[in-house]
Structure 1
Amino acid sequence: MPVDPRQGIGERVTAARRLARLTQKELADAAGVSYSMVRAIERGARLPGDDVIEALATALSVDPARLLGHRGHTDSRVHDEIPELSRAIAAYDLPEDGPVRSLDELRAAVSEAVDWRIGAQYLRIARKGPGLLEELARALDAARGADRLEVARLLVAAYRTADAVTYKFSYRDLSARLVELMRWAAPAAEDPLLDAVVAYVRTETFFAAQAHEPGLRALETALDTAPRTSGAPEVAARGTLHMRAAVIAGRAGREDTAMMHIGEARCCADAVPEGVYYGTAFGPSSVRAHEVSLAVSLGGRHLQRALDLAHEWAPPRGLPAERRSGFYIEVGRAQLWAGLVDDAFESLKVARRIAPQHARDHRWVREDIATLRRLKRADREDLSNYADWCRAV
């Protein structure tokens, strides 16, 4: 009889909780589960379900696989869910009959999925995403008037959430298809800010193809047509486009253009509070994190700017986990290029603690840990363990 991977999870939860310096009550509150459940799990009196395991892992900033004591568990399960997601994408305009929740319930479900995306909880998205996409497709077919506008907006957000999984796990054809579906659904919402959202996400396809110049043109076209009013969502929409244009211009070697865009993003950020606007984090902290990304993209003399920023500033906990993790991955690369190999490894470890699912499949993480193993002793246990964890060896 196969052994249930949840056996022994209580001891692993206890160890991770103590390492995080949390009480059982604090863990329960952070995970959104009851105090009695946490106590029962740690005593071994109760085996948690998948949703509870994922909630605990999120609260503890660890990979669910660590709590299960099974390497690769999260990644393999994400890949297992991709065929179902692919079917939902293929039948986007031909949904099967089924139930449709109220608009308020759909709004809450999409909001939860967006939280998973910005928190780098890819397994949850992979498991729940196909059903949500199918239900929203049915809702769009049935909706009329103002309700249809709202459902279309929710569908764009859901497509974007699913794209986070396909792009992150290198299903680039599915990712490109989801971007096209965002472009298909956005006009039905009659919301010009969604066009900015779609343009922002579409840049992934240009990054993946290393088509930096076309990507920059697409973003600048979106900026030309973005709403010019002074409301926070409108300012944030323009700011996010400038942030991304700065980075892709840096990748294209267009230093002056990149600096112009990051300056415009900074001006926009000064006019709005840090927050999530139309599913994208924007504000002073987000722009500062992108300054590091831009410095790494430009390389050379700009690397010192990345190192200086990392020395004087750290992303606040309120910033989405994926963005915070990305900051440390970028900093780690700058440190590695500057010869600060021990600092680089520390940065990669921080990135892993913040968003393990994000760090594990990041191409730069694999490349940099492999380089670190070559520079240091290849048999050093901590480096080898990290390399094994992200499948760099």
Structure 2
Amino acid sequence: MAANFFSANPSTKKLGKEKERVVDPNLQPWVEKYRPKTIDDVSSQEHIVAVLEKTLNSTNLPHMLFYGPPGTGKTSTILALSRQLFGPDNFRTRVLELNASDERGISIVREKIKNFARQTPRAQTVASDGKTYPCPPYKIIILDEADSMTQDAQGALRRIMETYARITRFCLVCNYVTRIIEPLASRCSKFRFRPLDSSSTTTRLQYIAATEQVAVTPPVISTLISTSSGDLRRAITYLQSAARLSAASIPPTEITARDIQEIAGVVPDSVINGFARTLGIDVPAGVDESGDVEMADAPNGSLRGFELVQEKVKALMREGYSASQILTQFHDLVILHPTLNARQKSNCALIMAEADKALCDGADEELWILEVALRVNKAVA
């Protein structure tokens, strides 16, 4: 897909542009449909937006390095900035976007990137859609996931950045800035994108839900935020999946927090809470604890101690939950528990760390979840 941003044939480029404009919005993924059109629409990155606004006004863009966690708006920001600089008509002739994780070799740098960088554009002010765009006399090359590029490719890119700096600006987008070689990073203005705060994410999700006429409750929004861990792109994807799941029923069903957790692949809170209570950890019952997994048929109260814990673990494994995911969520519950003391929490953390190492080495999931359960039960007693 990235290769479509550069074509040697202008007529082919125009035909492709006309075809791409005819897109049914109902068929678009919401992450694309609601991608920011201008840098003012970027959520929760006020400092970066303020700096880029000044850069946009002067049209004097430096080489840039955007880094931060996934889903925080890095690619959306540079695409929005490029559209504001060049306008929709010149965007594809002035901007080359490559996903460096797929095209990371030195041959791509020497051929595709160098060929695009060496072409000299002309300065012009263009009007489109009733707006005027400055269209400065340079092009922009966007390298997404640049931290996946090889060391040799980064070295070759450094030389190209120096040679064609007058007519081409580079924007490197990555998650881990430490994987960018220092000679390359030193030539760029660095912009750190922070994970989105809850209020900004809530506002954006509520706006999308209202626009798409999807009824969501505050617990659903809260679950979207907690399961996405500051990744707005992931939260929007979960919301769209839940909306489609809801609309598949006649009449449409209500979207619940448990639906979001199932879509996200995490273990429902009610299941983790029930597991914790079985081990003797006091967890208040939530508003919806009906989804707790059921153990094998047994007379009420006939299971005690080891048998009770063993049956609970078997019930968890029968549901197909990932042992690593159970450990992750159970760890958070224990560490944030208000009544367990520091010694109990540290002992539980050591137990779960040992289990995590064993699972990474390929140990049996059910046996290690049982091991964790019995030792945590003893540690909190």
Does TM, normalized by the shorter one, top 0.5? Answer: no
Scaled by the length of structure 2, the TM-score of the pair is 0.26
Report which of the two structures shows the higher radius of gyration computed on alpha carbons. Answer: 2
Whichever structure has more strand as a proportion of its residues is 2
Give TM-score scaled by structure 1 length: 0.25
Q: Which has the higher helix share?
A: 1
